[in-house]
Amino acid sequence: MKKEELLEQIKLAMKAHDKARVSILRQVNQAVKQVEVDERRDATEADITKAVKKLQKVTAEELDGLRKAGAESHAERIQELSTQADVLSQLLPRQLEGADLEKLADSLIAELGATAKRDMGKVMGALTKATNGNFDKPAAAAYVGSKLS
């Protein structure tokens, strides 16, 4: 997602009076602005994706903690965090998984000439580079591990 698209989504959410979505998009925009100020450069798509992933991780951790606490008094906050997690996942590019992931992993294994378990790091690194980290990592690790002896 480009910065212009992010700003456009903020406008659309404001026009739709979707306060939750506006709040989340503004959090992402603030994280992107922070990168621009700190590093004195324009934010890239990778910066925006990184900011979304970071917010997604924080949200998931807080949501997990509240669910483990199991307190009835946190039901409203759990609902807010669930909504936030849904919105954040919509902002990320689609993750590579299933047959597409296996096909890419097979081609990278062949390309790198990987044969042993010690080559797993090379394959996983190549997968990360090829997909910008947008793949199901546990599934990829299990599949690549099963292919290497």
- What are the DSSP calls for 8-53, one per residue? HHHHHHHHTT-HHHHHHHHHHHHHHHHHHHHHTS---HHHHHHHHH
Give pTM, 2 decimals. Answer: 0.69
Q: Does domain 98-147 have CATH number 1.10.10.410?
A: yes
Say what the pLDDT of residue 50 is.
Answer: 87
Say what the pLDDT of residue 59 is.
Answer: 92
Q: Does domain 3-91 have CATH number 1.10.40.50?
A: no
Say what the pLDDT of residue 71 is.
Answer: 66
User: Structural domain boundaries of the chain?
Assistant: 3-91, 98-147
Q: What is the mean pLDDT of each run of 10 residues along the chain (149 residues)?
A: 91 94 94 92 88 91 86 81 90 84 91 89 91 84 88
Say what the pLDDT of residue 67 is.
Answer: 84
Q: Is the dihedral of CA 24, 27, 33, 38 positive or negative?
A: negative
